[in-house]
């Protein structure tokens, strides 16, 4: 006689099946997302991503300190960034794979909430998941600092939405604690999620009469989390509680906020509003059929909300739970939209969180078993088809998104250099043609340091201003964002001419010794041979002035960083005349590579007519002047013939 298996004997098999299903679902989602957005088409980082992964080697504290300089306190994001950087070794492909993986897990999580928690049929749940996953709101996947932060933020948001929906019908103390922990976490991923305190406090108040312990625990947890976040910022770090994008102050311009709010709401419903560099394509710039499809999608969304309202009015049982869900969803969408509308621009990544909540809200009518559910199924099917059609059109215009533009420029540059041994072996790479936003895309000298390239200089004029026989010159073509080797480099060898630093040596005599200054003379400017050559060392931070001979027509400068440490030193030279001060040199001089000899850089700087004095300033834009020493082996004047 065969023994009947006990109920517990099925658990290992079910767990294995669930794990396999999760793995396969996640893999399929990963492949779909990569195939749609294709972030793996690139090879190297650009912009904020470059700064992030270059700094991540310093650990969590370095990242948090960097965030605090921009008045951002996001410790969970910092921990995630460092973990990803160390797990991937800062390799672009691996980081991009992780970014896509988080988005894929969010897609699987959303499907599970729709199908398992809300009871939506598999086909409708899959369709809504596709609409929520392959969307222009997720173009942040091209910028991995944002992809990691926004991705894990959406993960926490999905957890809050799922727990809140369950707690509306079955509130428990354990769920109130879990919601408080999720809220504490999400506000330390990105501060804009502080606004979720409003719907969570509503949930607590709603349950105050029937489930007092749940209500008190949730309200207390949310309040303490918010107060702790604000107190740490104000009392410990002395930073503002909230600050706008690019560290611009929040001014709460009411007409602007209302304008952004309505545009954001229209975008959530399918009518895309916003400049192309953020929205990919504005509704009014789209072809007629795309406008029709967008309006149709908005109509289906409105129909679903109307059906939900009809169900709410006609329902005789559980109407209190349904009403609470409607209020909770509405409050969440409104406050998240407001959080995306209070600064000087509305980035579409900020609209993704209210869009996810809207998708959950639109699924509610499918839970009904009355006649309206048939119309709800039709509306969902139409909404998904129309949304996918619109997104397929917008996908062809992702190149307009500012993140892709930056990555295209950086990767085209890297390809041009990587395919040229002459470029990689040169002392410097000079780019002509005016690369827009080059300072942000390449983060000053960070790109060259991160990818072990020669120093890169960007010149907007037609000829090279730096005279260096070893410079490799690239021409930039803005129309195609491509780089080609220049036919003529227009560089000259200046090593033959005599070097003279006497005017700087004279200026050095004007400085009195300062006790504690770690230089041989205890002054910031002093003479010292570098690699066997006479030179004058200038230590950050210092300013001095030299007189220009009346007949001088140009200044010749030869300089190098002294150390293979620090983050680079900045030098500015201004020529003074009766017409005022005019900058003639503004450069960041990168540290030497380890074991590298001094890298001398030669400049021929034309002087404006009537120049009488030169003001020299050596400093650090980053504020960290550690090891910021410049060696000058030439600082002489070319006389007019």
**Distance of CA 200 to CAs 154, 291, 418, Å?**
17, 36, 52
Q: Is residue 144 in a domain?
A: yes
Residue 84's pLDDT is 96
Question: Could you report the average pLDDT of every consecutive run of 10 residues in the chain (641 residues)?
Answer: 57 80 92 96 94 87 76 89 94 96 97 94 95 95 95 98 96 96 96 96 93 95 94 80 63 86 96 93 95 97 93 70 94 96 90 98 85 87 97 94 92 92 82 85 87 82 46 88 74 56 91 86 90 88 92 89 83 90 87 74 86 92 82 88 60
Residue count of the chain, please give it.
Answer: 641
Residue 148 and residue 77 in contact, taking contact as beta carbons nearer than 8 Å: yes
Query: Is there a single domain that holds both residue 163 and residue 256?
Result: yes
DSSP 613: E
CA 15, 21, 24, 29 torsion-angle sign? negative
Query: Is there a single domain that holds both residue 191 and residue 304?
Result: yes
Calpha distance 320→308 (Å, rounded): 14
Query: Is there a single domain that holds both residue 326 and residue 454?
Result: no
Calpha distance 632→585 (Å, rounded): 14
Angle at 132 between CA 127 and CA 133, to 5 degrees: 95
End position of a domain, from candidates 354, 372, 400: 400
Angle at 127 between CA 370 and CA 364, to 5 degrees: 35
Query: Is there a single domain that holds both residue 428 and residue 381?
Result: no
Residue 297 and residue 355 in contact, taking contact as beta carbons nearer than 8 Å: no
- CA 334 to chain centroid, in Å, comes to 24
Q: Is residue 73 in a domain?
A: yes
Calpha distance 455→574 (Å, rounded): 23
Reduce the secondary structure of 38-73 to three states and give it as a string.
Answer: CHHHCCCCCHHHHHHHHHHHHCHHHHHHHHHHCCCC
Task: Give the chain's domain count.
Answer: 3
Structure tokens at 47: 């912009």
Residue 544 and residue 510 in contact, taking contact as beta carbons nearer than 8 Å: yes
Calpha distance 115→360 (Å, rounded): 11
End position of a domain, from candidates 400, 433, 462: 400
Calpha distance 449→54 (Å, rounded): 9
Query: Is there a single domain that holds both residue 44 and residue 174?
Result: yes
Q: Is residue 287 in a domain?
A: yes
Residue 76's pLDDT is 94
Calpha distance 241→635 (Å, rounded): 48
Residue 324 and residue 168 in contact, taking contact as beta carbons nearer than 8 Å: yes
494: nearest Cα among 468, 458, 456 = 468
Residue 556 and residue 636 in contact, taking contact as beta carbons nearer than 8 Å: yes
End position of a domain, from candidates 336, 366, 400: 400
Model pTM above 0.85: no
Structure tokens at 558: 């030869």
Q: Is residue 266 in a domain?
A: yes
* DSSP string for residues in 274-331: S-HHHHSS-GGGS-HHHHHHHHHHHHHHHHHHHHHHHHHHH--SSHHHHHHHHHHHHH
Residue 632 and residue 538 in contact, taking contact as beta carbons nearer than 8 Å: yes
Three-state secondary-structure class, residue 558: strand
Instruction: Categorise residue 74: left if φ over 0, alpha if ψ from -120 to 50, beta otherwise.
Output: beta
CATH (domain of 584): 2.60.120.1060
Query: Is there a single domain that holds both residue 394 and residue 415?
Result: no
Structure tokens at 521: 């003379």
Give the Cβ contact number of residue 397 at 10 Å: 15
End-to-end C-alpha distance for the chain, whole angstroms: 115
Calpha distance 577→568 (Å, rounded): 30
Residue 245's pLDDT is 62
Considering all CA atoms of the chain, what is the largest pairwise distance in Å, rounded to the nearest integer?
115
Helix pair angle (288-314, 348-363), 10° resolution: 40
Query: Is there a single domain that holds both residue 387 and residue 409?
Result: no
Structure tokens at 54: 């270059």
**What contacts 439, CB < 8 A, 6 or more positions away?**
none
Half-sphere exposure in the Cβ direction for 389 (13 Å, CA)? 17
Query: Is there a single domain that holds both residue 390 and residue 453?
Result: no
Give the Cβ contact number of residue 366 at 10 Å: 23
Q: Is residue 32 in a domain?
A: yes
- CA 401 to chain centroid, in Å, comes to 13
Q: Is residue 494 in a domain?
A: no
Domain boundaries, position 443 = 404-485
3-state helix, strand, coil in the chain (%, to 5): 55, 15, 30
Q: Is residue 4 in a domain?
A: no
Query: Is there a single domain that holds both residue 210 and residue 81?
Result: yes
539: nearest Cα among 517, 559, 524 = 524
Three-state secondary-structure class, residue 123: helix
Structure tokens at 84: 């990803």
| In the block, residue with structure tokens 């409104």 | 334
Structure tokens at 551: 């007949």
Q: Is residue 456 in a domain?
A: yes
CA 43, 48, 54, 59 torsion-angle sign? negative
Structure tokens at 172: 């428990």
Calpha distance 223→218 (Å, rounded): 8
Query: Is there a single domain that holds both residue 408 and residue 396?
Result: no
CA 248, 251, 256, 261 torsion-angle sign? positive
Residue 492's pLDDT is 45
Query: Is there a single domain that holds both residue 178 and residue 91?
Result: yes
Query: Is there a single domain that holds both residue 352 and residue 388?
Result: yes
Structure tokens at 151: 């991705």
Residue 48 and residue 26 in contact, taking contact as beta carbons nearer than 8 Å: no
DSSP 106: H
């Amino acid at each position: 006689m065969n023994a009947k298996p006990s109920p517990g004997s099925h658990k290992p098999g079910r767990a294995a099946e669930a794990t396999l299903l999760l793995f396969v679902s996640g893999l399929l989602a990963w492949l779909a997302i990569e195939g749609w957005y294709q972030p793996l088409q690139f090879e190297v980082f650009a912009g904020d991503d470059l700064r992030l992964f270059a700094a991540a080697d310093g650990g969590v504290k370095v990242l948090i300190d960097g965030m605090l300089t921009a008045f951002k306190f996001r410790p969970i994001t910092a921990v995630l960034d460092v973990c990803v950087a160390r797990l991937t070794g800062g390799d672009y492909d691996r980081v991009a794979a992780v970014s896509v993986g988080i988005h894929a897990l969010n897609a699987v999580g959303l499907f599970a909430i729709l199908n398992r928690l809300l009871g939506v049929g598999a086909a409708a749940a899959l369709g809504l998941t596709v609409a929520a996953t392959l969307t222009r709101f997720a173009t942040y996947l091209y910028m991995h600092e944002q992809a990691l932060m926004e991705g894990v933020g959406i993960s926490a948001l999905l957890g809050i939405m799922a727990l809140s929906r369950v707690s509306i019908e079955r509130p428990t103390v354990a769920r109130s604690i879990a919601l408080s922990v999720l809220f504490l976490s999400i506000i330390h991923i990105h501060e804009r999620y502080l606004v979720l305190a409003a719907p969570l406090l509503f949930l607590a108040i709603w349950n105050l009469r029937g489930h007092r312990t749940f209500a008190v625990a949730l309200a207390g947890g949310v309040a303490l989390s918010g107060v702790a976040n604000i107190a740490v910022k104000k009392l410990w770090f002395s930073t503002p509680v909230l600050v706008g994008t690019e560290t611009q102050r929040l001014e709460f311009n009411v007409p602007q906020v209302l304008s952004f709010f309505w545009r954001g709401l229209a975008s959530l419903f399918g009518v895309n509003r916003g400049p192309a560099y953020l929205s990919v394509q504005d509704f009014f710039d789209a072809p007629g059929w795309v406008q029709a499809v967008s309006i149709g999608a908005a109509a289906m969304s409105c129909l679903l909300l109307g059906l939900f309202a009809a169900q709410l009015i006609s329902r005789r049982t559980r109407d209190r739970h349904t009403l609470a869900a409607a209020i909770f969803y509405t409050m969440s969408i409104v406050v998240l939209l407001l959080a995306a509308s209070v600064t000087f621009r509305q980035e579409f990544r900020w609209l993704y969180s209210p869009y996810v909540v809207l998708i959950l809200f639109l699924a509610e009518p499918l839970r009904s078993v009355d006649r309206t559910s048939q119309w709800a199924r039709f509306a969902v099917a139409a909404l998904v088809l129309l949304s996918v059609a619109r997104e397929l059109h917008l996908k062809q215009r992702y190149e307009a998104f500012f993140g892709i533009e930056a990555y295209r420029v950086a990767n085209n540059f890297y390809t041009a250099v990587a395919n040229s041994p002459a470029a990689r072996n040169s002392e410097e790479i000079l780019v002509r043609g005016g690369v827009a936003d080059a300072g942000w895309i390449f983060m000053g000298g960070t790109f060259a340091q991160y990818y072990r390239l020669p120093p890169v200089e960007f010149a907007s004029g037609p000829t090279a201003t730096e005279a260096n026989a070893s410079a490799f010159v690239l021409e930039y073509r803005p129309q195609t964002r491509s780089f080609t080797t220049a036919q003529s480099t227009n560089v000259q060898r200046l090593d033959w001419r005599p070097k003279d630093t006497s005017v700087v040596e004279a200026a050095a005599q004007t400085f009195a010794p300062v006790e504690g200054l770690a230089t041989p003379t205890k002054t910031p400017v002093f003479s010292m041979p570098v690699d066997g050559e006479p030179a004058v060392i200038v230590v950050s931070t210092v300013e001095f002035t030299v007189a220009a001979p009346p007949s001088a027509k140009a200044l010749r400068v030869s300089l190098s960083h002294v150390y293979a440490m620090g983050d680079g030193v900045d030098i500015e030279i201004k020529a003074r005349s009766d017409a005022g001060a005019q900058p003639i040199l503004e450069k960041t001089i990168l540290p030497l590579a380890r074991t590298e000899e001094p890298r001398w850089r030669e400049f021929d700087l034309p002087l404006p007519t009537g120049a009488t004095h030169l003001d020299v300033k050596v400093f650090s834009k980053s504020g960290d002047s550690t090891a910021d020493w410049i060696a000058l082996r030439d600082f002489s004047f070319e006389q007019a013939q």
